[in-house]
Amino acid sequence: MKQSLGILAALLVSALTACGAPPPAEAPEPLGEESSALVSCSTSCPSGPSLSCWGNSCSAANNAYVQCDGVYQYCATTPPPLDCSYSYEACVNLVGTACSPPGSRRKCCIQAEPFGNCACSTRNTWECTVPDEP
């Protein structure tokens, strides 16, 4: 009888395991911690407002774009209309001021009219020309 109880117990354990009894509980893994800080990037644009963005990672190229978390913002390629009511648009006030990149061009104002042309020199300063009057 003792032998048959032992066999019966072994069969019962085997049957429970084969029928999908849950395995012994394992200790849960500790949760990982992750921390991050937002960063910002910005750039000025030669023909419009400056650009900036916030994200987990970013990069920027002067006068071209900013990029945050893989999303790019590009500087406008068409300059806004020249507003000669501002003194900083006057040719006389632009000559010799800093510019970038060399070879870029822009208009400037002569007596409240957008007739002047400026080019960024290899010294990274504006050089402006005035058209000849007839």
Q: Is residue 100 part of a domain?
A: yes
66 found inside a domain: yes
Residue 109 lies in a domain: yes
28-44 confidence digits (pLDDT tens): 555 655 556 789 999 88
Confidence of residue 46 (pLDDT cuts 50, 70, 90): confident
**Range of 122's domain?**
87-129
Whole-model pTM: value is 0.41
The C-alpha atoms of residue 8 and residue 21 are separated, in whole angstroms, by: 18
Residue 53: its pLDDT value, please?
92
Looking at the fold, whether 70 and 91 belong to one and the same domain comes out as: no
CA neighbor of 111 nearest in space, from 80, 132, 87: 87
Check whether 16 has a pLDDT greater than 60.
no
- Reference 44, options 62, 32, 69; nearest CA is 62
C-alpha 45, offset from chain centre = 14
Q: Is there a single domain that holds both residue 69 and residue 102?
A: no
How far from chain centre, in Å, is Cα 79? 22
- Within a domain: 60: yes
Same domain, 91 and 123: yes
Q: Residue 88 in 3-state DSSP?
A: helix
With beta carbons less than 8 A apart as the criterion, state whether 120 and 100 touch: yes
Report the number of distinct structural domains present in the chain: 2
Give the torsion through C-alpha atoms of 80, 62, 42, 58, to 10 deg: 130
Is residue 20 assigned to a domain? no
Q: Is residue 68 in some structural domain?
A: yes
Domain end, chosen from 50, 74, 98, is at 74
- Sheet-wide strand order for 58-61: 58-61, 65-68, 71-74
